[in-house]
Amino acid sequence: MSHTYEYPRPAVSVDCVVFGLDEDQLKILLIQRGAEPFLGMWALPGGFVEPDENLNEAARRELQEETGLRGVWLEQLYTFGEVDRDPRTRVITVAWFALVKMSRYRARAASDAANVDWFPVSRLPRLAFDHRKVVRLGLQRLQAKVRYQPVGFELLPEKFTLRQLQQMYEVILDRQLDKRNFRKKILGMDILIELDEQESGVPHRAARLYRFDKSRYKSLLKAGFNFEI
């Protein structure tokens, strides 16, 4: 290890695959590049890691700077280090994936900058660097993860209906679920708090609202409970 300082060091960046749920579409947040290489092309929000910040801090800082998002759910995805992935120089990027409650942030991101926008995952523009690959992995991870960890709630508002919850799973997993079986299962888990409220503004019978009971989930976990959709 000691001979290493002679070598040129790679640059290290972070990139974020940010997922949001817009009605019945799964979307990803992209920024339009303002510099070469790939000037004008859409890319994942991200940037270089500062010497005095941890990797997750760098990811959060870049998200904030480039898109205005703060306090989102964030988890490391994968590190991409192919020698030629950046035409300028060797850049190793630590990719993260984030889940945001779009209802809370949409306005913000849209107004902040013209070069930030949400795209449906099924209709992405051409992406800079190897970001296509990063997105694909993020999507795979989301589909796998959502099934055995209650992370999907991060995409919904604090208060949601069972229909919204089911639809979230249907959109991410890309298949239909049976309404009665879904309700039976999720309610049987005993991780939802039934609120004394209903959705409003719908032109038909209003549905009951629920909240995810995180502390309840945690204590169930310790007791050996296994979340699974």
Partner DNA sequence: CCAAAAGTGTTTCACTTACACCCATGA
Partner DNA sequence: TCATGGGTGTAAGTGAAACACTTTTGG
Chain residues binding DNA by CB under 7 A are 161-163, 178-181, 183-185, 198, 202-208, 228
User: Which of a copy of itself, DNA, none binds 161 (CB below 5-8 Å, type-dependent)?
Assistant: DNA
Q: Can you read off the two tokens belonging to residue 97?
A: 């994936």
SS3 content of the chain, % helix, strand, coil (to 5): 40, 25, 35
Q: What is the dihedral of CA 201, 213, 196, 155, to 10 degrees?
A: 0
Q: Are 101 and 157 in contact (CB under 8 A)?
A: yes
DSSP 8-state code for residue 160? B
Among the candidate windows 74-82, 102-110, 172-180, 202-210, which touches a copy of itself by CB under 8 A?
74-82
Q: Which is closer to a copy of itself, CB of 11 or CB of 221?
A: 11
DSSP 8-state code for residue 113? -
82-141 residues in contact with a copy of itself (CB under 8 A) are 82-83, 90, 92, 94
The reply on whether position 190 binds a copy of itself by CB under 8 A is no
Give the torsion sign (CA, 177, 142, 118, 125): negative
Q: Which helix (H) or strand (E) holds 174?
A: none
Annotate each residue in 39-58 with x if it binds a copy of itself (CB under 8 A) or - if it does not, as one string: --------xxxxxxxxx---
The reply on whether position 224 binds a copy of itself by CB under 8 A is no
Q: Find, among 169, 164, 162, 198, the residue nearest to 183 by Cα.
A: 162
The reply on whether position 226 binds a copy of itself by CB under 8 A is no
User: Which of a copy of itself, DNA, none binds 224 (CB below 5-8 Å, type-dependent)?
Assistant: none
Residues paired with 19 in a beta bridge: 28, 99
Q: Contact residues for a copy of itself (CB under 8 A)? A: 1-2, 4-5, 7-13, 35-36, 47-55, 76, 78-79, 81-83, 90, 92, 94
